[in-house]
Structure 1
Amino acid sequence: MTRNHVGSTIHPTNSRGTLHSNKYRLTIASIGEKRAHRPVFFCRDPHTGSANTEGLVADKARAAPPSLDLVLCGSPEVGMKGLSVGEKLFIQGGIAQDLRTDGRRRLNYRPISVETDVISQANGSARVRMGGTEVIATVKAELGRPNAMQPDKGKVSIFVDCSPTAEPTFEGRGGEELATELSVALERCLLGGKSGAGAGIDLSSLIVVEGKLCWDLYIEGLVVSSDGNLLDALGAAIKAALSNTGIPKVNVSAEASANEQPEVDVSDEEFLQFDTSGVPVIVTLTKVGRHYIVDATLEEESQMSSAISISVNRHGHVCGLTKRGGAGVDPSVILDMISVGKHVSEQLLNKLDSEIAAAEADEEE
């Protein structure tokens, strides 16, 4: 299989199928009806009381003014059951002392391993293990027609499924709701705004004939086992799967009129491989007490007040931002968390790139 590099990074459009998610807890404001499969961010001015319900985007032009309080109205919980008061105090006290229950410091990750090409039917796939959390991501490519509003861009959709064997709470409705929440969070972290500005995935590389033909990428994530930090693990698996993705080379064989689709020849032997150097990783900072940690376990997540997930690429650009948890976060704290997230992303990117390279070398052997 011949692979050539083409500039890439991609964005989901949620055009195929319904997203699913975990339990919602409406905290600050009632959305009015339980149709909210997307968390709603309110930036509320404490003086006027007016609220802006635009999704939070890590873009300087859209950053919340210092006087605004950030509040999340819908959030998922995959809670631990049966923790005693002593166990809770032990977790919280360890984090305060910078010595977590598994021996890590606050900003250290658990061991990470990557396997690529694990699903032969997909154009690209990867399995990522992050401690006791295991996820699989696949990428499938189909030819389609670009959106009329974005004729020079391809399309990407992201879907997540939570296996009932991963966690008892994933049975039935619980797993569906969590899957929806994870799908939406991945879109926020990878896709930027509606125009695609600031996105970590470039859709322009998916165009075959402008306005007429493009590649539609369907990215699917599966949660195999859950021990916390699912969003970061899924983000890492998507990046690894994209690095393993080969898109068939397309030759346009004839010109078509404005209302006709062009004739194309899709190669079975030549493939274009994505350049994933611009695809970000996701770093979630979980606040427990007065401190925040990375790569929280399920037990640690049960003690959190809030969490901020930041997607950062190799160039240090923040591509997206999302929040969960009922507690409000001061804008100055968010800026500090973004700074820490950018620093931590470097070690995650280096580790992930090393694991992907090793996995691809094993695959070639």
Structure 2
Amino acid sequence: MSLTLSHAERTYITAGIASKNPQRLDSRRLDQFRNIEIDAPASLQADGSARVRIGSTEILCGVKAEMDPQTPPRVTASDGSTSIAYSPWLPNTPRIKCAVEYSPALVQTHNTHDQGVLTASLTDLLSACFVQNGSHIGPFPASQFIVLPNARYWLLHVDVYIMSWSGGNVLDTLFAAVFAALWRTRLPRTEVLAYEAPAATQDMVDADSDPLGMKFITRGKRTNAPAVSTSAVDFALADEWDDGMLLEGREELPVCVTIFPLAGEQHLLDASYEEEQALSSSVNVIASATGRLYAVRQNGKHSLEPEKLYSAIETGVQYAKQLAEMLKQ
């Protein structure tokens, strides 16, 4: 980063925070957030969007749904005595793709290398919250991304644009913008227009036999009746984008709360850019409004005692619930 605090500035900030009556540069309490400004929707072209400002840090997030044609490969699984061939119910490519970029204007005030490292780190951390895990993609049930089984799927592009990070607390602001955008994202309802009867040679899964216990990842239960139509081949939108369905599972969307452990059991929240440079260690706690913990990341040159780390996680989860409820409004 371009800003480097002098020894006197660093001492002034840390001494004020560590005093008996803690003093911050902007007179906030240690656990007090700055005002969070939310502008949603921020783009009429996106299926969900939000612009979030914390201090002078400003981040824009846009979500765009795309129809993605995919043909999942046939997979054969065996337990030694029995084998079964099936098509996974979702392709092995992500259904939610995240990308983080920064404004070219930041090149004038921030080091280009630092910008690249930061955006790559933020992209990886954000993407990790939306990976497929069993029947869910991040917080979302995966079934809502299927339009035509084994043929058409929804693909969500989550694009984040860092307009300014001069106020610090970039990660909390970024996750707040993503939360606000996805909370308002709608997928259009679809309806099947045509079906194709299965070929006589097509592999069927007996509804009463599941020796491998794998029906949850196959095409589902099928009967051997030749007249049953089981393969949808065409669809249409049942309503307009503005009248679509809100994402199921959005109550579990993650937010981030960055905790700076201090002496004793105190913590500093929503650090300004200067405070981030002055303090040595922080903990990013990524959790949902229901208390689901997605990730914990420690930053800084110094290690933390387990007790301090656990305390920071508990504090982060507590404030994540409050932050998520505020972003829903």
TM-score normalized by the length of structure 2: 0.74
Q: How far did residue 268 of structure 1 move?
A: 5.6
- Does residue 120 (structure 1) correspond to residue 93 (structure 2)? The answer is no
- Does residue 351 (structure 1) correspond to residue 323 (structure 2)? The answer is no
The 8 Å contact of residues 194 and 234 in structure 2, kept in 1 or not, is answered as yes
CA 1:201/1:177 → structure 2, altered by over 3 Å: closer, same or farther?
Answer: farther
Unaligned runs of 5+ in 1: 1-77, 358-365
Q: Counterpart in 2 of 1:106?
A: 30
Q: Distance in 2 between matches of 1:246 and 1:314?
A: 20
1:163-219 per-residue CA deviation (whole Å, 9 max, x = no partner) reads 13246454644322211111112233x236865879434433322234432211010
Supply the AA of the counterpart residue of 1:151.
W
Supply the AA of the counterpart residue of 2:244.
F
Q: Distance in 2 between matches of 1:324 and 1:165?
A: 27
Counterpart of 1:255 in 2: which secondary structure?
strand
Q: Counterpart in 2 of 1:92?
A: 14
- Does residue 265 (structure 1) correspond to residue 236 (structure 2)? The answer is yes
Q: Counterpart in 1 of 2:130?
A: 191
Q: Counterpart in 2 of 1:362?
A: none
Q: How far did residue 267 of structure 1 move?
A: 4.5
Q: Distance in 1 between matches of 2:163 and 2:43?
A: 14
1:219-264 per-residue CA deviation (whole Å, 9 max, x = no partner) reads 0111111111111111111111112212122212122469988212
The 8 Å contact of residues 135 and 225 in structure 1, kept in 2 or not, is answered as yes
Match for 1:158 among 98, 111, 116? 98
Supply the AA of the counterpart residue of 1:286.
F
Map of 1:1-365 to 2, 5 A cutoff? 78=1, 80-81=3-4, 83-97=5-19, 98-144=22-68, 145=70, 151-152=89-90, 155-166=95-106, 168=108, 170=110, 172-188=112-128, 190-191=129-130, 199-226=138-165, 227-256=167-196, 262-267=233-238, 269=240, 270-275=243-248, 276-287=250-261, 292-353=267-328, 357=329
CA 1:278/1:179 → structure 2, altered by over 3 Å: closer, same or farther?
Answer: same
Q: Counterpart in 1 of 2:223?
A: none
Counterpart of 2:298 in 1: which secondary structure?
strand
Q: Distance in 1 between matches of 2:163 and 2:273?
A: 15
CA RMSD of aligned residues (A): 2.9
The 8 Å contact of residues 257 and 319 in structure 2, kept in 1 or not, is answered as yes
Counterpart of 1:302 in 2: which secondary structure?
helix
**Larger radius of gyration between Structure 1 and Structure 2:** 2
Q: Distance in 2 between matches of 1:169 and 1:196?
A: 44
Supply the AA of the counterpart residue of 1:279.
L
Identity of aligned residues (%): 28
Q: How far did residue 310 of structure 1 move?
A: 1.4
The 8 Å contact of residues 95 and 156 in structure 2, kept in 1 or not, is answered as yes
The 8 Å contact of residues 192 and 200 in structure 1, kept in 2 or not, is answered as no
Unaligned runs of 5+ in 2: 74-86, 203-230
